[in-house]
A and B are shown apart, each in its own frame.
Chain A
């Protein structure tokens, strides 16, 4: 649910980073947090377990500047990827305006990506949304591991698995190295704001 504050001339939108466990959702937010100035990115909150897996969510507010006189504040959230935390994922999706789906390029994670996208769709339907109508971009993360000789899915395979119906923009990335992180953020922000503006014009 976007919030427009006319007194402060500010638009707030909520973007959720979704995807299977260990695909790099938190790594995306951490990179953004570390590489943006403190005037732009606010405090990052992480609720994780001892093994640095997200228990509840991560949260990072980012001010991305002005569009048509409105300051844009993007609230970035991640969800816990592990299957058993479905109730938490659903909770974090409340009021979502856009989704960045972070897929794991490891070949062994192929089915987990597919399952997670299906899970996203199911959870969005709880709020009368779905993956086809919400602004969404895909990120194929961990591409750097190819150099280390780890078996990865090809971009074509990932696109066929995840994006054949969606036809969403996708980015090859290595979140720990920062490759593709800002491209993903920029595209999902653009799409989300465009969709909110369209709804408001109605």
Chain B
């Protein structure tokens, strides 16, 4: 199934991401599909880094889904990578999308988690409209 993203949907998604995540300290937010295609992105990183990030994140989720099956789970719905200065939070949005949030060590993981789960619900509504 191909995805057509209208101007209106893109506007709503960016607005939502800015309001819930960028305003709360996220450096960059990317929404991708499970095939690794970039849907929307906003923040400080250049596109040349965002494209591989989208592809690798989808692959990362695919690989961990295989790990999940080995331990009797269907899927893992969120992943978290902690770095020295920066962290990445990945969460599954519905069955087909992945929300990637990059943030630095000054921002609390709890806040990102809270905002991500709220944003995920709204993203799904927008995508399914």
Interface residues of A (CB under 8 A from B): 1-8, 12, 14, 42-43, 45, 56-57, 59, 61, 75, 77, 87-88, 91-92, 94-96, 196, 199-200
Interface residues of B (CB under 8 A from A): 1-7, 10-11, 33-39, 47-49, 51-52, 55-56, 58-59, 62-63, 66
- Report yes or no: A4 in contact with B4, Cβ–Cβ below 8 A: yes
- Report yes or no: A1 in contact with B33, Cβ–Cβ below 8 A: yes
- Report yes or no: B56 in contact with A59, Cβ–Cβ below 8 A: yes
Residue B36 contacts which of A4, A14, A196 (CB distance < 8 angstroms)?
Answer: A14
Q: What separation, in Å, do the CA atoms of A7 and B39 have in the docked complex?
A: 11
Minimum CB–CB distance for A56 against chain B, Å: 6
Which residues of the partner chain B approach A5 to less than 8 Å between Cβ atoms? 5, 10, 39
Which residues of the partner chain A approach B59 to less than 8 Å between Cβ atoms? 56-57, 91-92
Residue A59 contacts which of B4, B39, B52 (CB distance < 8 angstroms)?
Answer: B52
- Report yes or no: B35 in contact with A43, Cβ–Cβ below 8 A: no
- Report yes or no: A1 in contact with B4, Cβ–Cβ below 8 A: no
- Report yes or no: A43 in contact with B48, Cβ–Cβ below 8 A: yes
- Report yes or no: B37 in contact with A95, Cβ–Cβ below 8 A: yes
Q: Which residue of A lies closest to B69 (CB)?
A: A87
User: Beyond A7-B5, A42-B48, A91-B62, is A12–B55 a contact (Cβ under 8 Å)?
Assistant: no
Residue B3 contacts which of A4, A43, A87, A96 (CB distance < 8 angstroms)?
Answer: A4
Interface-centre pick from B37, B48, B58, B62 (highest chain A CB count, 10 A): B37
Q: Which residue of A lies closest to B11 (CB)?
A: A7
Q: Which residue of B lies closest to A1 (CB)?
A: B35
Minimum CB–CB distance for A70 against chain B, Å: 12
Which residues of the partner chain B approach A56 to less than 8 Å between Cβ atoms? 59, 63
Which residues of the partner chain A approach B55 to less than 8 Å between Cβ atoms? 45, 59, 61, 75, 77
- Report yes or no: A1 in contact with B3, Cβ–Cβ below 8 A: yes
Which residues of the partner chain B approach A96 to less than 8 Å between Cβ atoms? 35
